[in-house]
Amino acid sequence: MLAVHREEESNRFYSMLAEKIKNPEGALTFQNLAQDEIKHRQILLTWWESRFREAFPFSEDRIEAPAVSVDDQTGALDALELALEFEQQAMDLYEQLAVTAGGDKDLVKICRDLAKEEWGHFNTLSAERNAIMGAFYWYDIDHAAPLED
Q: Which domains does the chain show, CATH number per domain?
A: 2-54+73-140 (1.20.1260.10)
What is the pLDDT confidence band of residue 142, given thresholds at 50, 70 and 90?
low
Contacts of 128 (CB under 8 A, 6+ apart): 26, 29, 80
Cα–Cα separations (whole angstroms), residue 80 to 10, 20, 100, 126, 132: 13, 13, 30, 8, 10
Q: What is the pLDDT of residue 77?
A: 84
What is the pLDDT confidence band of residue 102, given thresholds at 50, 70 and 90?
confident
Would the pLDDT of 57 be above 50?
Answer: yes
Integer Cα distance of 15 and 54 in angstroms: 29
How far is Cα of residue 55 from the mean position of the Cα atoms in its chain? 24
pLDDT, mean of residues 34-59: 95
| Cβ proximity of 140 and 127 under 8 Å | yes
Cα–Cα separations (whole angstroms), residue 84 to 1, 17, 45, 123: 23, 13, 25, 9
Integer Cα distance of 42 and 7 in angstroms: 9
